[in-house]
Structure 1
Amino acid sequence: METRGIEQMFDFQRLPNDGLVLLLVLLYSPVGLCLMLLRLFVGAHVFLVSCALPDSFARRFIVRIMFSVLGMHVRQNSPRLRDKSTKLYICNHVTQFDHNIVNLLTSCNTPMLEDSAGFVCWARGFMELGAISGQDEIDESLRRYCSSPETLPLLLFPEEDTTNGRAGLLKFSSWPFSMTDSIQPVALQVKRPFVALSTPDSFWLTELLWTFFVPCTVYHVRWLPPVSRQDEESFQEFANKVQELLATELSVVSTQITKADKAEHIKRKRHIAPQTTTSNLGARPRPVPLGFMIRSSGVEELRISRMAQQVKEVLPDIPLGIITRDLVQTNCVDTTITNLLESTEEFPVEATGGATSAPGPAWRSLSSSAAPAPTIKPAAKSFGKSPVDRHLSLQERKEALYEFARRRYIEKHELEQDETSEQDLIAGKRVRNDDRC
């Protein structure tokens, strides 16, 4: 299967980037707000009508007309291909209201798998499963439902999450295909002007308001012929085959990206701040390194400092300034640790002074020092090939660290060379004995 970039499969912002289209949205906003208020009033009547009338062709026809007033236009291709004996419809997932759209064309039920049951579940048109917890119990309950001849067909979304419908399909889960050996694929395409169809982690009520705001949202449903599972096929192979059929019908690609991959990508995108581009830096040295985004709030500075100390406990060899810089961008301890471990940059060795710094922003102490602290360069420019060379390189590095710490101690306490020579000799012997151990 071809793998399409995960960024292309989801819309992470509602409004467009194009300046001309954004200007049109701003000009349309007063009309859209009035239209949204009017459609909220009409939508309440649509809900009452759908609750009052029994499930029949007349009810679906009336509600479909009223949905058009709400801006949700439904079209379908090849309705004769719909098999009335099929107990399971498999459809790709684009919006929060896909099950309502398909239910306007044929009677079917979609179970609520994640959110709690109750009035909202019933009002949105989902089927309640009762007090069932665990995937095994859900599978067994849905199998019994499909095996009953009096029940309506099931409509399931094996992607388990929404996409923008333009680039590719999420990997189909295998559990929906274990319900029955024969299924009917349903291809769904959704188009809307100006704004995105959905954004990750958006609440369904927010999606409904945006649907009422835009002029229209067109749902195009295409029925595909029923597909049966072969005897030698596993459930996952059957799912992959149906995924390929739907991807071909929709002119997109079938990917191996799962719902968990989408959630992980959203989590990373939420923690990593957008990179800010800087221009015309000039040759004058800056007191604060690039990338340090200093927060004026004292509470924020203390929080960053505490997070930096947590990272420092895990990675003691990384300078505190570099840790702080990454934390300002990521705002997450785990992400910073991952970034520093995966970084190929060679960090300068941080000297361990006699006194620890008080809690506070690390970048303040870096920029306020009058004289720049001497940096320690690695003693060996290349990694030794023999154990002897590697041992010598390590010994030279330790000697350099010891000499640097000695100078810092003398400068800090303003001691004379003669007063500290005896202490240095004792400390040097102790360090060398530790090195041999």
Structure 2
Amino acid sequence: MVVIHESGIREENCKIIVANFLSAVDHWVLALLWNVVTPCIWNVPKSLAWCLGYSDFNASCGRKSLVKNVKKHLNDCSTSILVFPEGATTSGQKGLLKFASWPWNVGEPVQAVTIEIYRPMRVSPSVLGGRWWTDALYTFFCPLTIWKVNVLPIVARREDESDDEIALRYQEQMAHHLQLSSTNFTCADKVELAKNRLFKRSQGSKETNRIDEMVKQVLAVLPHVSPSDIKKQLLINDDVEVTIAHLVENPLDARSISSESLNRLEKHDIEEKITRRNKKADLTSMSLQERKDLLLQEARRSYLKKHDMKNM
């Protein structure tokens, strides 16, 4: 269910409406209130833009082409133009993205409206890096979504005021009404942030898988050592052989022993390991290569015994 609350006076002579951008369906909601069309300023197929309810004003050819087609539309039709000057959705919790100034280049009066969205559950209207269709589906399947639309007074242009300057004043007016910050971040900055977070997330997942695989390799040689202690050393050394050598030479660094591992060890197996260890030369007196060879032999012996294979 969708509930819309409208407040403020809409000036009929204002043919351009600018609003903050919270969800993929904001333009549908405002179209229920007023007779407006929304130019598609994103590089998407025309058929998809039409399905989403956006109008093609040839924005892909540049700002001049967009402004020219908007002027032509306003001269030929009575339908107003709805613009989201931020260019990308935000959470509506922190601040507004920097406004594009082209709506004030059209030469028509501009009126600002603010949008606030409320839901009984903590379901965000849009998610950083999310797809438009997922945001739309959440809107359709959420039991209740409330849009609060406030119409703000028109800001008069000052003498010799540029498009960028008046766009900034509109941005500050809307931010003040919403009790948000007026930022200099652009929609391109948001896209870059989403890419960086996605990259870090994927890199973190790969790194976790790599460390887990290394932990398994160490456990094959030192099954009595807790995986958490092994992982702690791997994060320092980032090397399986160095970690094994360190845990053998410094048993105090492996204080927490897995009880499950101890239960699996039979008494004669423990005695065998102790006897074998006593027969070994002191590891600290060996070279690094000798310690590696010894540990590899131990790992091979453990593997053959575990799988009941004969030494070949």
Report what 1:217 is aligned to.
Answer: 145
Structure 2 distance, partners of 1:182, 1:270, is: 41
Q: 1:192 and 2:109 equivalent?
A: no
Report what 2:186 is aligned to.
Answer: 258
Alignment of 1:32-47 (within 5 A): none
SS in 1 for 2:55: coil
In structure 2, relative to structure 1, the CA distance for the partners of 1:264 and 1:119 (3 Å cut) is closer
Q: CA deviation at 1:177?
A: 2.0
Q: Which amino acid aligns with 2:103?
A: P
Q: 1:167 and 2:94 equivalent?
A: yes
1:117–1:130 contact (8 Å) kept in structure 2: no
Structure 1 distance, partners of 2:59, 2:169, is: 33
**What is the Cα-based RMSD across aligned positions, in Å?**
3.2
Alignment of 1:260-275 (within 5 A): 260-273=188-201
Alignment of 1:67-106 (within 5 A): 71-78=1-8, 81-106=9-34
SS in 1 for 2:61: coil
Q: 1:363 and 2:239 equivalent?
A: yes
Report what 1:201 is aligned to.
Answer: 129
2:7–2:149 contact (8 Å) kept in structure 1: yes
1:109–1:153 contact (8 Å) kept in structure 2: yes
Report what 1:23 is aligned to.
Answer: none
Q: 1:296 and 2:213 equivalent?
A: yes
Structure 2 distance, partners of 1:159, 1:127, is: 18
Q: CA deviation at 1:170?
A: 1.1
Q: Which amino acid aligns with 1:221?
A: V
2:41–2:60 contact (8 Å) kept in structure 1: no
2:99–2:167 contact (8 Å) kept in structure 1: yes
Structure 2 distance, partners of 1:151, 1:132, is: 24
Report what 2:156 is aligned to.
Answer: 228
Report what 1:241 is aligned to.
Answer: 169
Q: CA deviation at 1:206?
A: 1.4
Q: CA deviation at 1:242?
A: 0.4
Select the structure that is richer in strand. Answer: 2
Alignment of 1:289-368 (within 5 A): 294-296=211-213, 363-368=239-244
Structure 1: segments with no counterpart, 5+ residues: 1-70, 277-290, 298-323, 327-360, 373-410, 415-437
Structure 2 distance, partners of 1:131, 1:215, is: 36
Structure-2-length-normalised TM-score: 0.64
1:107–1:152 contact (8 Å) kept in structure 2: yes
1:88–1:180 contact (8 Å) kept in structure 2: no
2:100–2:167 contact (8 Å) kept in structure 1: yes
Of residues 236-245 and 361-370 in structure 1, the stretch that sits farther from structure 2 once superposed is 361-370
Structure 1 distance, partners of 2:196, 2:44, is: 27
Structure 2 distance, partners of 1:108, 1:115, is: 21
Q: Deviations over 1:247-281 (max 9, x none)?
A: 1222222122221222222222222249x9xxxxx
Q: CA deviation at 1:99?
A: 0.8
Q: CA deviation at 1:368?
A: 4.8
Structure 2 distance, partners of 1:229, 1:366, is: 70
1:184–1:226 contact (8 Å) kept in structure 2: yes
Q: Which amino acid aligns with 1:223?
A: V
Q: Which amino acid aligns with 2:165?
A: E
Structure 2 distance, partners of 1:138, 1:144, is: 10
Structure 2 distance, partners of 1:89, 1:241, is: 15
Q: CA deviation at 1:89?
A: 0.5
Structure 2: segments with no counterpart, 5+ residues: 215-233, 250-286, 291-312
Structure 1 distance, partners of 2:105, 2:242, is: 61
Structure 1 distance, partners of 2:48, 2:209, is: 46
Q: Which amino acid aligns with 1:296?
A: E
Q: Which amino acid aligns with 2:64?
A: D
1:181–1:228 contact (8 Å) kept in structure 2: no
In structure 2, relative to structure 1, the CA distance for the partners of 1:365 and 1:181 (3 Å cut) is farther
Q: Which amino acid aligns with 1:200?
A: L
Q: Deviations over 1:51-107 (max 9, x none)?
A: xxxxxxxxxxxxxxxxxxxx12111012xx211111110101111111111111110
Q: 1:154 and 2:65 equivalent?
A: no
Report what 2:107 is aligned to.
Answer: 180
Report what 2:50 is aligned to.
Answer: 122
In structure 2, relative to structure 1, the CA distance for the partners of 1:118 and 1:257 (3 Å cut) is closer
Structure 2 distance, partners of 1:105, 1:130, is: 26
Structure 2 distance, partners of 1:264, 1:213, is: 30
